[in-house]
Amino acid sequence: MSSLYQMSPPRFALVRPLPASFAQALSEKPPITPIDLALAQHQHQAYVSALRSAVGEVVVVDAADECPDCCFIEDTVVIVGRQAMITRPGAPSRRIETSAVAASLERLRTRGEDLVIEHLSDAALLDGGDVLYVGGRLFIGLSRRTTATALEEMRARMDCPVHGIEVDEGLHLKSMLSALDDQTLVVAEHPSALRMATEIKAVLGAGGSLITVPDASAANVLRLGRYVLIQDGFPQSSGRLQSICGERGLMPVSLKMSEFIKADGALTCCSVIIP
Ligand code: CIR
């Protein structure tokens, strides 16, 4: 099975442009300065350009103005190997986002991609932001958006080991941690993030390691072949990440995500990667 963390470029990235309603996206705390839609568009375009340079093909799912959060496409599907599990997002306003994503995956399948498209049951709630695939395992955050029923269903239906991790702070499991490769987690220097990362590292075993960064948002990085998307605007965190990338022969690409952070988003949430 292709790994998300190999040096060769992932085959596909699915993205969803910003809807005109993006300024009304959900947010845990209303931002001090409201979302600047023009700036958000600019940041999203830079994100998509970075993806175009790093993956085989970018598949664009049409935006839906009735879904202010639709650009956070990661929450709508979990893909491991050929298995694509369409989620049932935790926020009621986001549940209608999944059908357009399922239809795009179906089009890829009819083009010959070896994908098996499945749907979580109506009993489950799960956001893809709570799902980290690393070391051949799925770690699923139990958060305000993702339920124990969803964890059990994923355990029963996914073709890989599945572990639950309590999320007691932040929106999602990946709000304060992410993976650089199959053994290395990037994690915020924050008690709750460190506790979750330590639990994951224990499952990964002797090779598992943690890279800590001072800024919570900056702990969300997106590995794409030999590139690593990191967040601009957090000098201490990006300095640390840039030097680690250099040591490992990876190329950091800095992107500003300020308008997405206002809606509790970051780098992983704006795409779905198919290795
Ligand atoms: C939400 O509250 O659902 C969106 N405003 C943010 C979702 C971010 N998703 C992610 O990090 N996977």
pLDDT score for 3: 83
The number of the ligand 1 atom at minimal distance from the alpha carbon of 25 is: 5
Residue 118 contacts residue 83 (beta carbons within 8 Å): yes
pLDDT score for 193: 98
Name the strand (E) or helix (H) holding 134.
strand 131-134
pLDDT score for 178: 98
Residue ID of nearest Cα to ligand 1 atom 2 = 26
Q: pLDDT digit of tens for each residue in the chain (275 aa)?
A: 678 999 999 999 999 999 999 999 999 988 889 999 999 999 999 999 999 999 999 999 999 999 999 999 999 999 999 999 999 999 999 999 999 999 999 999 999 999 999 999 999 999 999 999 999 999 999 999 999 999 999 999 999 999 999 999 999 999 999 999 999 999 999 999 999 999 999 999 999 999 999 999 999 999 999 999 999 999 999 999 999 999 999 999 999 999 999 999 999 999 999 99
pLDDT, one tens digit per residue, over 87-128 is 999 999 999 999 999 999 999 999 999 999 999 999 999 999
Name the strand (E) or helix (H) holding 132.
strand 131-134
For ligand 1, the distance from its centroid to the CA atom of residue 29, given in whole angstroms, is: 13
pLDDT score for 1: 67
For ligand 1, the distance from its centroid to the CA atom of residue 177, given in whole angstroms, is: 14
Distance CA 152, CA 1 (A): 24
Chain centroid, CA 93 distance in Å? 19
Write the secondary structure of 219-269 as one string of H (helix), E (strand) and C (coil).
HCCEEECCEEEEECCCHHHHHHHHHHHHHCCCEEEEECCHHHHCCCCCCHH
Any idea which residues carry the catalytic annotation? 172, 269
Residue 57 neighbours by CB distance under 10 Å: 14
For ligand 1, the distance from its centroid to the CA atom of residue 202, given in whole angstroms, is: 27
Distance CA 160, CA 34 (A): 41
Which residue(s) pair with 209 in the sheet? Answer: 184
DSSP β-ladder status, 116-119 and 83-86: parallel
What lines the ligand 1 site, CB under 6 Å? 25-27, 69, 72, 74-75, 91, 94, 128-129, 172, 263-266, 269
